[in-house]
A and B are shown apart, each in its own frame.
Chain A
Amino acid sequence: MHELGITRSIVEIAEGHAREQGATRVLSLTVQIGALSGVIPEAVEFAFEACSQGTLLEGARLIIDAVPGRGRCRACGAESAMDRFTYACPHCDALALDTVQGEELRILELEVD
């Protein structure tokens, strides 16, 4: 359900840009989805076909650029990989990781005709 709304926004934003540039259809679009964004790429892929029907994006190829999570420790300053389930620093065990990467939810580019 969440991804349905997100996917609708993706289609709406992309179609707006495509129209503005005088495109008649979108061949592909690249979307960046961070591992900490709470959005599941597979669910967006699943929703995309339904959401793009009847728009300039119908039939377009959806390319998902998955961005891994990274955090920086407020206690020791080290950077490390980070998943959604623990904010503990692997170097010093402090529960003090701030997200530096992985919350992205962004349309990068469109290939249009």
Chain B
Amino acid sequence: MCIDCGCGPTDHHHHHHEPGHAQDHGHDHGHSHDQGRRTLRIEEDILAKNNRLAGNNRARFGAKGLFVLNLVSSPGSGKTSILERTLRDLAGNIAFAVLEGDQQTDQDAARIAATGVPVHQINTGAGCHLDAHMVGHGVEHFDLDATDILMIENVGNLVCPAAFDLGEDHKVAVLSVTEGEDKPIKYPNMFHAADLLLINKIDLLPYLDFDLEKCKAYARQVKPDIQILEVSCKSGEGMEKWYAWLAQGANRKKT
């Protein structure tokens, strides 16, 4: 249910980018057309609408005791691979649902579906990030009462997703060791917004010049209290710590 835009569960594909949407809520405009030149003091936050909808999502997730993560990274760092392995390894222990944000294809959603976990794909088209409105409608496809953890795979992009709150408990940034250790200071907003950093593909460390300690120092420079876990979804190394982190978060939300 979308309180702010008033659209129901079924008509949600038709209004996202209609230019008239914001002002056709039935205000009466039959007044004061001839006041001449004047200044309107507005003071409106540009992200206010998204933040309001994110707040609605968060309240709804909170009421259900749902633990919600927003996975962000550059393209190809391994978000879907981490999800696939996690969903398989924790099957039977934790009930997941997955929202997949993708600009073009449904390949990621198909990979998740193959694990047997409920998944819904949000096609962002030209949009380079998910927003709270899309997520609010996306979860209409799940039985949230039967879900412990909602995973949201954001569009592979280290810029915009930082600015858009979806109503998650934490943003989790994934950085693979093939990308170079300076990513945190090249895209500081994203790493500042994240509470957990997963350094992925550590099975490849022996073949690369990646400086792990330097990478962690850079991440802490932009987010002093960020938690950092090193993982490989290929070898499975480090995954137990990530699973423990997940279980702890889910338990905290339940109580």
Binding site for B on A (CB under 8 A): 1-2, 5-6, 9-10, 12-24, 27, 31, 36-39, 55, 84-88, 94-97, 105-113
Closest A residue to B163 by beta carbon equals A38
Q: Identify 5 residue pairs between A and B in the complex whose beta-carbon atoms are under 8 Å apart, listed by A's number.
A: A6-B46, A21-B35, A105-B163, A109-B39, A109-B41
Establish whether residues A22 and B221, one from each chain, have CB atoms under 8 Å apart when the complex forms: no
Given contacts A97-B224, A113-B37, 8 further A-B contacts (CB under 8 A): A1-B159, A6-B163, A15-B22, A20-B23, A22-B33, A38-B189, A39-B163, A111-B38
What are the nearest 3 A-B pairs in CB distance? A95-B224, A38-B189, A2-B160
Measured as residues with beta carbon below 8 angstroms from the partner, the interface class of chain B is 35 or more
Establish whether residues B33 and A16, one from each chain, have CB atoms under 8 Å apart when the complex forms: no
| B92 contacts A by Cβ under 8 Å | no
Chain B residue numbers with a CB within 8 Å of A37 are 163
B81-140 residues with Cβ-Cβ distance < 8 A to A are 127-129
For B36, give its contact among A1, A9, A97, A113 (CB under 8 Å): A113
Chain A residue numbers with a CB within 8 Å of B22 are 12-13, 15-16
State A27–B37 Cα separation when bound (angstroms): 9
State A94–B127 Cα separation when bound (angstroms): 38
| B220 contacts A by Cβ under 8 Å | yes
Q: In whole Å, how far is A46's beta carbon from the nearest beta carbon of chain B?
A: 16
State A38–B46 Cα separation when bound (angstroms): 13
Establish whether residues A9 and B40, one from each chain, have CB atoms under 8 Å apart when the complex forms: no
Establish whether residues B32 and A22, one from each chain, have CB atoms under 8 Å apart when the complex forms: yes
State A1–B125 Cα separation when bound (angstroms): 13
State A21–B163 Cα separation when bound (angstroms): 30
Chain A residue numbers with a CB within 8 Å of B27 are 20
Chain A residue numbers with a CB within 8 Å of B222 are 84-87
Query: Given the known A-B contacts A12-B22, A24-B33, A87-B224, are A2 and B43 also in contact in the complex, defined by CB atoms under 8 Å?
Result: no
For B46, give its contact among A21, A84, A107 (CB under 8 Å): A107
For B43, give its contact among A6, A21, A107 (CB under 8 Å): A107
Establish whether residues A111 and B31, one from each chain, have CB atoms under 8 Å apart when the complex forms: no
Chain B residue numbers with a CB within 8 Å of A110 are 39-40, 42
State A24–B35 Cα separation when bound (angstroms): 10
Indicate with 1 or 0, residue by residue over B213-229, a CB within 8 angstroms of chain A CB atoms: 00000001111100000
Q: In whole Å, how far is B104's beta carbon from the nearest beta carbon of chain A?
A: 15
Query: Given the known A-B contacts A2-B163, A84-B188, A86-B221, are A20 and B41 also in contact in the complex, defined by CB atoms under 8 Å?
Result: no
Chain B residue numbers with a CB within 8 Å of A113 are 36-37
State A48–B161 Cα separation when bound (angstroms): 21
State A111–B42 Cα separation when bound (angstroms): 11
Chain A residue numbers with a CB within 8 Å of B40 are 17-18, 21, 23, 109-112
Q: In whole Å, how far is A107's beta carbon from the nearest beta carbon of chain B?
A: 5
